[in-house]
Structure 1
Amino acid sequence: MKKLFFPLLFATFALSAVAHYADWNAIAQFVVAAVAIVFAAGFLGKSTESVAHYAGQRLGGFLNATFGNAAELIIAIFLVKEGLFEMVKASLTGSIIGNLLLVLGASALAGGLKYKEQKFNLHLAGQNGTLMLLGVIALFIPAVFVKSEHLANQNSLALSVIIAGVLIVAYAGWLVYSMITHKQLLEDHEETSPDHGETAAWSKGRSIVYLVLATVMVAFISEWLVGTLEVFTRAFGLSELFVGAFIVAIVGNAAEHSAAVMLALKNKMGAAIEIAVGSSLQIALFVAPVLVFVSLLFTPHMDILFTTVELAAIAVAVFIATSVSRDGATTWYEGTLLLLVYIILGVAFYFV
């Protein structure tokens, strides 16, 4: 199977490109792209694991989250340009809850079935929880003030821009704190000697090239796949909120799903946490604020006001994810609980 992986990877990618540009039937495009993204996500996961072998689990996890969110950011910028702000906010909401509940839950479940308990850095868990709460507060405050009519509508954009700037500063500070000044404090024990007798799949240079290549492939396939979703939305009578928060988010996060689960199965839960939670933090503290600033280049502008349903979903996801991870260890049952909460939210969004 390993010998066939690359031929199948490039064959499915090429077939997906042909289906898209030749304007095949939308359902056929969806099926081909869905198969292609499975291989592309696996390629990205393997590349990330190889890079992490040389750079350490934390940096490897950060790179995976960043490269995984790059595709989402690019797609979101085009949606902002078209003025589809509700779809953008729904997809951001879906990304946050998808990473905290689906990705983290699947990783904890898969790893927990193989290992009785998987431990990771307790201090990192606490810092992640605090940052997630900051994201909830930053999204909650403007929505409350506007809806309670204590803030004029014309001032909501100004407030959104200021809050977006504050969140970017907070994220930049977190990168300095976690990658430079307190790097050793946040490392898992196994990170101090990353080799563990293992060998990387590829050389350092090839690993980096493959990581970039895999990200580009995921970006293209994700865009092609998302482009077919309108047909399914009409066919099954799905709401824009459900499509944005769940279908688009699941497709956009395919790379993180694959990489995090693969690492958890190798008892590298710290790296899986870095991917799942780190990706959610990056969406809330960097991607969403950046989109607010990007929208200033177009008309109309996007604010940072999320709906009550979206805020409730994000708050619930942050609360349960923080509760599960605050002790610095996960089990298969805790992973199951996260997945069950994700199902509850999915059903609720479906009936909105």
Structure 2
Amino acid sequence: MKKWISPSLLAITFVLSAIGHYANWDHTLQFVLSAIAVVFVAGFLGRATESVAHYAGQRLGGFLNATFGNAAELIIAFFLVREGLYDMVKASLTGSIIGNLLLVLGLSIFAGGLKYKVQNFNVTLAGLNGSLMIVGVIALFVPAVFLNTHSITELETDTLSLVVAGVLIISYLAWLGFSMITHKKYLDDVTEDKEEELPNEHAPSWSKGKSILYLILATVMVAFVSEWLVGTLESLTERFGLSELFVGAFLVAIIGNAAEHSAAILLAMKNKIGAAVEIAVGSSLQIALFVAPVLIFASYFTGNTMDIVFTTIELVAIGVAVFIAKSITQDGATNWYEGLLLLAVYIILGVSFFLV
């Protein structure tokens, strides 16, 4: 699925981005080169993770996919935290959540629906995913309400943010245990069409040792290109008059999720809508329940805690995305028109964010 991301092509994009950064080229050109490099490196990281997961087995493989699935977004956000760009961090988290729930899921359902009239997946898993998404919204909504109504002070907000972050991480780890160990068979997708699956479709193209080496190498490369990308964002927003909200919520989010976008769409077109939904919704859950809380603790250890209070616009965007995504997926069946509805909501939000 990501075989077009070859090591040689990856090396070329990485080297060009490095030259642009260290030669101090125009910041806009640096941004373009870094963005392209992030897309290729994230895709290569995903391919390496899948290969390692094949050798590691189902349980450890699932953990590796959960850990590295959002590596690009997490590392980009970490460098934003280090630079103190908390507003852009929250915007990028918002963009990742709504991008996966509306753009990725919408394109997947639409593309799959054009080929298959109705596509089905595990309705129990759909319901649990919906409940987890609502928990994520509650975790963002409660601190904002208490701070904005002056029920708690800013110092108390930092404490509440750390507590909420801890609860979310525990909830996420419990979900991993529930979905991959104790209730794995209960949540298996038995409705997918297996007839189109080729015998060696999922066979890794690399050896175990090479897969691990590429995984480590790709993670290091993601760290470098993410730092280079972040270094150009302030200049980019000033030059083109873009808001941090739009840059974080749409540009950074789309770049970081590019590899996952293609994977979900291709799976849906093979009538594997359950796997496509897992990529889209599962990635959003990782952002809300794991990545965001980890960043809260990361900021705490830097000496300046980033609170978990999102703006009203961000909360509305996330709430709308969760509401429509849960509404469409809760019956375990999808069609192309439902995908179109998700894309329509994404366009509405995109234009609104651009005009802010």
**TM-score under structure 1 length normalisation:** 0.88
Q: 2:120, 2:192 within 8 Å by CA — same for their partners in 1?
A: no
Specify the code of the residue in structure 1 equivalent to 2:82: K
Q: Which deviations, in whole Å up to 9, do the C-alpha atoms of 1:201-244 show, x marking residues without a partner?
A: 41562445444544444443343334333333122211111111
Q: Distance in 2 between matches of 1:304 and 1:347?
A: 25
Say which is worse superposed, 122-131 or 200-209, in terms of deviation. Answer: 200-209
Q: Distance in 2 between matches of 1:252 and 1:63?
A: 18
Q: 1:46, 1:259 within 8 Å by CA — same for their partners in 2?
A: no
Match of 2:205 in 1: 202
Q: 1:112, 1:330 within 8 Å by CA — same for their partners in 2?
A: yes
1:313 Cα deviation from its structure 2 partner: 0.6
Matches for 1:110-149 after TM superposition, within 5 Å: 110-149=111-150
Figure out how many residues of one structure are paired with residues of the other and give that number.
351
Q: Distance in 1 between matches of 2:323 and 2:340?
A: 16
Q: 1:51, 1:208 within 8 Å by CA — same for their partners in 2?
A: yes
3-state SS, counterpart of residue 267 of structure 1: coil
Match of 1:240 in 2: 244
Q: Distance in 2 between matches of 1:44 and 1:249?
A: 17
Specify the code of the residue in structure 2 equivalent to 1:220: F
Q: 1:106, 1:261 within 8 Å by CA — same for their partners in 2?
A: yes
Q: 2:121, 2:333 within 8 Å by CA — same for their partners in 1?
A: yes
Say which is worse superposed, 4-13 or 254-263, in terms of deviation. Answer: 4-13
Match of 1:290 in 2: 294
Q: How much identity, in percent, do the aligned residues show?
A: 67
3-state SS, counterpart of residue 116 of structure 1: coil
Unpaired segments ≥5 residues, structure 2 = none
1:97 Cα deviation from its structure 2 partner: 0.9
Q: Distance in 1 between matches of 2:258 and 2:318?
A: 20
1:251 Cα deviation from its structure 2 partner: 1.6
Matches for 1:18-167 after TM superposition, within 5 Å: 18-47=19-48, 50=51, 63-64=64-65, 66-167=67-168
Q: 2:140, 2:315 within 8 Å by CA — same for their partners in 1?
A: yes
Q: Which deviations, in whole Å up to 9, do the C-alpha atoms of 1:14-59 show, x marking residues without a partner?
A: 2222222222222322333344344434434544555666678998
Match of 1:302 in 2: 306
| TM-aligned CA distance change 1:313 to 1:56, over 3 Å | farther
Q: Which deviations, in whole Å up to 9, do the C-alpha atoms of 1:274-294 show, x marking residues without a partner?
A: 221111111111111122222
Q: 2:108, 2:268 within 8 Å by CA — same for their partners in 1?
A: yes
**TM-score under structure 2 length normalisation:** 0.87
Q: Distance in 2 between matches of 1:293 and 1:334?
A: 38
Say which is worse superposed, 101-110 or 259-268, in terms of deviation. Answer: 259-268
Specify the code of the residue in structure 1 equivalent to 2:306: M
Q: 2:192, 2:272 within 8 Å by CA — same for their partners in 1?
A: no
| TM-aligned CA distance change 1:327 to 1:52, over 3 Å | farther
Specify the code of the residue in structure 1 equivalent to 2:346: Y
1:80 Cα deviation from its structure 2 partner: 2.4
| TM-aligned CA distance change 1:88 to 1:137, over 3 Å | same
Q: Distance in 2 between matches of 1:274 and 1:137?
A: 21
| TM-aligned CA distance change 1:126 to 1:349, over 3 Å | same
Specify the code of the residue in structure 1 equivalent to 2:332: G
Match of 1:178 in 2: 179
CA RMSD of aligned residues (A): 3.0
Specify the code of the residue in structure 1 equivalent to 2:170: V
| TM-aligned CA distance change 1:75 to 1:225, over 3 Å | closer
Q: Distance in 2 between matches of 1:170 and 1:308?
A: 25
| TM-aligned CA distance change 1:74 to 1:30, over 3 Å | closer
